[in-house]
Amino acid sequence: MNPGSPTLRLTAALFISAWLAGCTVGPRYSRPQAPAAPEYKETPPNWKQAQPADQVVRGKWWEVFQDSQLNGLEEQVSVSNQNLKAAQAQFLQARALVRLNRADLYPTVTAGVSASQNTLSRTTPRTGAASNYTDLVLPADVTYEADVWGRVRRTVEAARANAQASAADLESVSLSVHAELAADYFQLRTLDAEERLLSSTVTAFEKALELTENRYKGGVASAVDVAQAQTQLETTRAQAIDVMVQRQQFEHAIAALIGQPASSFTIPASPWDAPPPAIPPGLPSDLLERRPDVASAERHMAAANAQIGIARAAYFPQITFNGTAGFESSALSKWLDGPSGFAAAGISALVTVFDVGRRRAGTEQAQAAYDQAVANYRQTVLTSFQEVEDNLAALRILDDEARTQSVAVNAAEHSLQLSNNRYRGGVVTYLEVITAQSTALSNERAAVDILRRRMNATVLLIKALGGGWNASGLPSVSSNRAPQAQGSK
Buried b (16+ CB within 10 A) or exposed e, 89-100: ebbeebbebbee
User: Which pLDDT belongs to residue 46?
Assistant: 45
Predicted pLDDT at 473: 80
pLDDT in tens, 243-268: 999 999 999 999 999 999 999 999 99
| Cβ atoms of residues 258 and 441 within 8 Å | no
Percent of the chain exceeding pLDDT 90 equals: 64
Closest CA to 472 of 459, 460, 484: 484
pLDDT, the chain, mean = 87
Of residues 340 and 438, the one with the higher pLDDT is: 438
pLDDT interval class at 121 (50, 70, 90): confident
The answer to whether residues 277 and 65 touch, using CB atoms and an 8 Å cutoff, is: yes
pLDDT digits (tens, 9 = 90+) for 461-482: 999 999 888 888 888 765 445 4
Distance (Å, rounded) from C-alpha 241 to C-alpha 191? 11
Dist CA 25 CA 34 (whole Å): 26
**Is residue 489 over pLDDT 70?**
no
Residue 183's pLDDT is 97
Identify the residue with better confidence: 233 or 476.
233
Give yes or no for residue 4 having a pLDDT over 60.
no
Closest listed residue to residue 281, CA positions, set 393, 182, 401: 393
* Residues 215/473, Cβ–Cβ less than 8 Å: no
Helices (H) and strands (E) in the chain, counts: 10, 5
Residue scoring higher pLDDT (123 or 235): 235
Q: What is the pLDDT of residue 478?
A: 58
Residue 330 has pLDDT above 90, yes or no: no
Three-class DSSP category at 184 = helix
Q: What is the pLDDT of residue 49?
A: 41
Q: What is the pLDDT of residue 8?
A: 52
1: three-class secondary structure by DSSP: coil
**Average pLDDT value for residue range 102-115:** 91
Q: Give all strands (DSSP E) within 330-372, no chain letters.
A: 341-350
pLDDT of residue 280: 84
Residue 316: pLDDT over 80: yes
pLDDT of 444 higher than 60: yes
Q: Where residue 122 falls among pLDDT bands split at 50, 70, 90?
A: confident
The answer to whether residues 436 and 430 touch, using CB atoms and an 8 Å cutoff, is no
pLDDT confidence band for 426 (50 / 70 / 90): confident
Beta-carbon contacts of residue 200 (< 8 Å; ≥ 6 apart):
none
pLDDT in tens, 24-72: 788 899 888 888 888 888 765 445 444 443 445 567 899 999 999 999 9
Is residue 188 pLDDT above 60, yes or no?
yes
pLDDT at 147 over 80: yes
The C-alpha torsion from 5 through 10 and 13 to 18, rounded to 10°, is: -150
Q: Which of 17-21, 252-256, 402-406 has the lowest mean pLDDT?
A: 17-21
The predicted structure's pLDDT at residue 125: 65
CB neighbour class for 12 (10 Å; exposed up to 12, middle 13-18, buried from 19): middle
- Residue 254's Cβ-side half-sphere holds a number of Cα atoms within 13 Å equal to 26
Is the per-residue pLDDT at 20 higher than 50?
Answer: no
Instruction: Find out whether 342 and 1 touch, Cβ atoms under 8 Å.
Output: yes
**Local structure of residue 59 (DSSP, 8 states):** S
pLDDT, average across residues 127-150: 82
Element (H, E) at 201: helix 151-217
d(CA 377, CA 365): 18
- Sorted by where each starts, the structural domains of the chain and their CATH numbers stand as 23-106+150-315+362-479 (1.20.1600.10)
Rounded mean pLDDT, 281-302: 91
Q: Max Cα separation, the chain?
A: 138
Q: Which amino acid is at 455?
A: M
